[in-house]
Amino acid sequence: MKNSSKIKVLISGAAGLVGQSLCKMLDQKGYEPMILSRKKNDKGSYRTIVWDLEKQQIGDEGETIEADYIIHLAGAGIADKKWSEKRKSEIISSRVDGAALLAKLISGMKQKPKAYISAAAIGIYGNRGDEMLDENSPIRKGSSEFLVQSCIAWEDSAKKISEMGIRTALLRIGIVLSTRGGALTKMLPSYKFGTGAYFGNGQQYFSWIHIEDLCRAFVFMIENENCSAAYNATAPNPERNKVLAKKIAEAKKQSALLLPVPAFALKLAMGEMSAIVLDSANVQPKRLLAEGFEFKFPDLKEAIEDLLARGL
């Protein structure tokens, strides 16, 4: 039985790459993670609360749900399937509908949560070349880029909760580095054969973050009552894609022939979704740093070495 005196953190998307790591970190720090899931699981490590986005229902009938903090991570994977119009609709609705259901939950709570913390993404800035971006950089709201459109809808979905007087913070997440999923796991296999790949001309900026630093940033949002608005969750040293490919080889302490994957081939294979690897966003975590957050892994090579060594 969980200790009722623990600080309760309700998390959507807890089964994902970031969610699993975040639950583990919160548990280690003495918090009580509670998971929102489509299926009940009484044998898991944490309390599971069932939610249904289509029916906009949460919890069993008569179930009391109390949470000190709510973290919204859930959303259809941006790179899991090719972007058909149906898939693009799913990507947006999975995030927006989840936020709407959480707003419904909060509105019925006698004791409101102290904060609502939502994942967001640096895709909101769009393809910006070498321009240095921070939280004050303008958002091109009329952009035709899907990543921009979807990220705006995602962030707008948090406004209803903010209007209830709940402290609301958004973490605009960059490329999450982990050996357990995401971009890095798709790049590593080729290095076994002495080759590495970069995309297009390799000059586009990849704004990345070590998965542990990302989880620490979520905890930082919980523990610092002044944190609100949008924060860039990226390491302070973005790298160009070709440099990323080179530093993976250096971290693995091996030489590798770096080969380009031509932009036209990516566009042919991935269609509009090729923007994920071809767009450039040189993003700085200005607000996080200004409010006192310290990155454990600001250097890309050291971050990759740590991930490889610990299997994170």
pLDDT digits (tens, 9 = 90+) for 205-261: 999 999 999 999 999 999 999 999 999 999 999 999 999 999 999 999 988 999 999
Q: Is 228 inside any structural domain?
A: yes
CATH number of residue 134's parent domain? 3.40.50.720
Domain assignment present for 109: yes
Q: Rounded to 10 degrees, what is the CA torsion of 146, 147, 151, 153? A: 10
- The reply to whether 180 falls in a domain is no
- Does residue 123 form part of some domain? yes
Question: Does residue 182 fall inside a structural domain?
Answer: no
Question: Does 239 fall in a domain?
Answer: no
- For 16-69, write each residue's pLDDT tens digit: 999 999 999 999 999 999 999 988 877 778 999 999 998 999 988 778 899 999
Q: How many domains does the chain have?
A: 1
| C-alpha to C-alpha distances, 4 to 31, 65, 84, 170, 272, nearest whole angstrom | 10, 13, 46, 28, 48
Amino acid found at 248: I
Q: Judge contact between 153 and 203, C-beta under 8 A.
A: no
Residue 5 has pLDDT above 90, yes or no: no
Question: Which residue range forms the structural domain that includes residue 77?
Answer: 8-175+209-234+283-296
- Tens of pLDDT, residue by residue over 108-126, are 999 999 999 999 999 999 9
Amino acid at 171: L
pLDDT band at 1; cut points 50, 70, 90:
very low
Structural domain contains residue 133: yes
pTM given for the model? 0.95
